[in-house]
Structure 1
């Protein structure tokens, strides 16, 4: 492993875990609210809820076709690459950092 890659890996390993609420606010809240938001579905209760099922939101055909429920793995896959997870989805934002995705998923599970 090159020294720069090793240094980056060590920095990541020793970095504090991202705060889920702060990460959600920075990466998600401009479009998604916890309880209401006209731009995108509200995310309170999303963990464990059937995919594309929040009332009052017109989901893309791609997301409707996914079926199933929002598990940790499915939320992570969607946040990793929304377009790959559900071709045709209208969510343009991906979260590249696995630690940030995990923090967001953990935070989503607290929203009721």
Structure 2
């Protein structure tokens, strides 16, 4: 997710900084492994690197700077017989997030 770098740099007060080179990989796990192998700096959700940090394979050089968690969206067909079940699941997820869901395509 290349835009995360732009967002992180802006939050760190260095939004105009441009990297000398970049390497974009297809998945967080590949980026994490590349950082473990010494290929550069990676950005990943903290929950995915906890074990590597604890084991000393990775460090968090700027722990005071973090981005908010990503948003997740649920999609179901309108008029679906699963509507009641999907509403229940969305309500359960909201308990953890605290943000209300907004049905798309409904008034």
TM-score clears 0.5: no
Rg (Cα) greater in structure = 2
Normalised by the size of structure 1, how large is the TM-score?
0.24
| Highest RCO, 1 vs 2 (Cα 8 Å, sep ≥ 6) | 1
